[in-house]
Amino acid sequence: MSTKRLFSQARDYAVITVGASLQALAFFLFLVPAQFAPGGLSGAAQIVNNYTGWPIGAMVLAANIPLFILGSKFLGGRRFLARTVFASVVFSVVLDALALFLPRGGVTHDPVLNALYGALLGGIGGGLVIRFQGTSGGTEIVARLLSQRYSIPLSQSYMYTDAVVVFISGLAFSWSHALYALLVLYVWGVVTDFVVEGQGVIRAAMIVTNHPEAVANQIMADLARGVTAWTGTGMYTGQGKHVLYCVVTRSELAQLKAIIHEADPDAFVVIGVAHEALGEGFKKLAGEK
User: Which residues, at least 6 apart from 248, have a Cβ–Cβ distance to it below 8 Å?
Assistant: 202, 203, 205, 223, 225, 256
Alpha-carbon distance of 13 to 239, in angstroms, equals 55
Q: Residue 70: what residue type?
A: L
Alpha-carbon distance of 125 to 133, in angstroms, equals 13
User: pLDDT tens across 33-73, in order?
Assistant: 999 999 889 999 999 999 999 999 999 999 998 888 877 76
Residue 289 banded pLDDT, cuts 50, 70, 90: very low
* Least reliable range by pLDDT among 73-77, 108-112, 132-136: 73-77
The pLDDT of residue 95 is above 50: yes
Cβ atoms of 274 and 203 closer than 8 Å: yes
User: Which residues, at least 6 apart from 212, have a Cβ–Cβ distance to it below 8 Å?
Assistant: 229, 242, 244
Mean pLDDT, residues 164-185 taken together: 94
Mean pLDDT, residues 81-93 taken together: 91
Global confidence as pTM:
0.76
Q: Is 108 left (phi over 0), alpha (psi -120 to 50) or beta?
A: beta
Residue 154 banded pLDDT, cuts 50, 70, 90: low
Mean pLDDT, residues 121-140 taken together: 85
* Least reliable range by pLDDT among 14-23, 149-158, 276-285: 149-158
Cα four-point dihedral sign 69, 128, 187, 171: positive
The pLDDT of residue 212 is above 60: yes
Give the pLDDT score at 69: 82
Mean pLDDT, residues 12-30 taken together: 95
How is the chain split into domains, by residue range?
A: 3-197, 202-274
Class of domain 202-274: alpha beta
Report the run of H or E that residue 47 belongs to, with start and end: helix 40-52
Give the pLDDT score at 91: 95
